[in-house]
Amino acid sequence: MGYAESMVFNVKSIQIFKINKIVFSLMGAIANLDQLKFEVKRELRQEILTEVLDIVRDEFYPAEEKIRPDFIKAVEEAERRVAEGNVSTYSVDEFKKKFL
C-alpha cells in the first residue's frame, strides 16, 4: 500500500468514524425524543384534565358566597337526618321545591 492509498484509507476511516459518531448521536437524540414525546403527552393530558375540571367547577359549582345560607342549612339538616337513618325520597320537582 502506497502513501496515496494510505492517505485515502485514513480519510475514509475518519469519514466513517465521523458518520458513526453522528449516527450514534442521532440514535441518542431519537431515544431522548421518545422520552420527550412521552413527557409532553403526559403534561398535555394533565393540562387538559385540569382545564376541563376548572370549566366543570365554574359551570356547575357556584362560588361559595353565592350559595344561599338557607340552602346550606337545608343540606346540613338532610345530612343530619341521613346520619340518624331518617331517609326520604323525592321526585325531581319535590327536591327542587324543598331544596332549591
Q: Where are the domains of the chain?
A: 1-61, 62-100
Top pLDDT among 84 and 16 is at: 84
Please give the residue that has the higher pLDDT: either 29 or 75.
75
pLDDT over 60 (residue 15) = yes
Give the span between the Cα atoms of 47 and 41, in whole angstroms.
Answer: 10
- Of the pLDDT bands very low, low, confident and very high (cuts 50, 70, 90), residue 11 is low
Report yes or no on whether pTM surpasses 0.85. Answer: no
Which three three-digit cell numbers place residue 8? Answer: 485515502
The HSE-up count of residue 31 (CA atoms within 13 Å, CB side) is: 6
* CA trace torsion 55, 60, 64, 66 (10° rounding): 120
